[in-house]
Amino acid sequence: MANPVSGFSKKSKEEKITWLAENYLANSPNAVATLKKYWNPDEKIQQLHDDFIENTLSNYYLPFGIAPNFLINGHLYAIPMVIEESSVVAAASNAAKFWLKRGGFKAEVLGTEKNGQIHLNFFGKKELLTHFFAEVKPKLIAGIASLQKKMQERGGGLKSIALIDATEKLEGYYQLHATFETLDAMGANFINSCLEAMAHIFEAEAVRFKPFKDHNTYPEVVLSILSNYVPNCRVKAKVSCRVEDLTDKHTDGTTFATKFVRAVAIAKAERHRAVTHNKGIMNGIDAVILATGNDFRAVEAGIHAYAAKNGDYTSLTHAKVENGIFTFWIEIPLALGTVGGLTTLHPLVKLAFEILQKPDAKQLMQVVAVAGLAQNFAAIRSLVTTGIQKGHMKMHLMNILNQLEASEGEKEKAVSYFKENTVSHSAVVSFVETLRT
């Protein structure tokens, strides 16, 4: 058993790798070589990656791909995607191609308001806290003037702050709910800095507030932080066409539309299906979030909370047929940034923004929402026609061949054979073994 280590973060990268190898990788003789194999040969780029997080040992590579032919609001995009799942980029590309001939995607931003809270304990009379907040509110706003000066010059900053009584949820629980506009920045650091500054002023002023002294009761700040639930920072994307225009080689338009709308209805009604349905949407969304250096964990948390906003977890997408017109759409919260963070640091993130023609935050919200809608369309289209596994396993074939360490010749023969035969792990293993014997 390995012993605890102290001062690990102060060790050099070589020393960290040596310690790891000695304590946890004794049975993996090639481990050190594997870690070093993924170092970037450009020392400046490697140092940049080393500085992103603490205790960096190497780089973990994911494929950086492109889904072309996305017509969004009349503008043609190639969307960069970073993901390991084999069928995602192919599915997005197929959906883009399908809708390219049918008017493309339409997207609009419905709001850009972000928020954060100062969470409070107060077990005195509500009237005292209400009176104090009315007096201290101007000081809270004045106290962050220097923090938000540049943001305000660009049209952003603190928009409102309100006292919320949440004692029905939790005894003695109140919050100061603040809303912000952060423009092209995701804004996490800005919002948190403002909240912490206001919290400090709030507590300092509370000590001097005479009614609190008279009643010997004071509000206490528990924590101050932004929220990743941003229902007022929202974007909508949709596709629409005549039902007969949905006809293709798989099925006629009417049959397809009927099954498609029913599939979405099932995802609305059944939680088990909704989770997988929405996971498919996030395949597209997360891939673009990663490519553009944004925080996919924050986006995931906020979107899934939005899916459960009415008390049950349900589909993020919607579909209908009215007057012979098929419409499919999504409306989701997205707090994204095109400045700050990794957007100006990571070379591939910078390249992703170049590919997207340097969008602002609103344009990026639209592209990301479209990627999620396209992914969901492709998945449902497969499910209600040929089935999901046929296309997925065709894409998964190369992963299986690589696991078997197939040669280039074996890969060529396998790809040719499985064009007409069902792909499964056992079938591929059997085919390769037959080739080798």
Strand, coil or helix: 433:
helix
Token pair listed for 142:
């004045």
**Which residues are CB-contacts of 370 (< 8 A; sequence separation ≥ 6)?**
70, 72, 79, 105, 107, 237
Kindly report the backbone phi and psi dihedral angles of residue 98, in degrees, each rounded to the nearest multiple of 5, phi listed first: -60, -45
Handedness of CA 178, 184, 185, 186 (dihedral sign): positive
The yes-or-no answer on residue 394 being catalytic is: no
Rounded Cα distance between 247 and 320, Å, is 16
Residues 59-74: b if buried by 16+ CB within 10 A, e if exposed: eeeeebbebebbbbee
User: Which one of 131, 137, 177, 279 is the catalytic residue?
Assistant: 279
Q: Are 237 and 106 in contact (CB under 8 A)?
A: yes
Rounded Cα distance between 46 and 231, Å, is 38
Token pair listed for 135:
């007096």
User: Which one of 16, 114, 392, 396 is the catalytic residue?
Assistant: 392
Residue 178's H or E segment, with its range, is strand 173-181
- Residue 41's identity, in one-letter code, is P
User: Which one of 277, 295, 346, 396 is the catalytic residue?
Assistant: 295
Rounded Cα distance between 328 and 242, Å, is 12
The yes-or-no answer on residue 295 being catalytic is: yes
Q: Are 93 and 67 in contact (CB under 8 A)?
A: yes
Rounded Cα distance between 345 and 26, Å, is 36
The yes-or-no answer on residue 50 being catalytic is: no
Token pair listed for 265:
């209805």
Output the CA angle 167-168-170, nearest 5 degrees: 60
User: Which one of 11, 85, 259, 270 is the catalytic residue?
Assistant: 85
The yes-or-no answer on residue 279 being catalytic is: yes
Question: Which residues are the active-site residues?
Answer: 85, 279, 295, 392
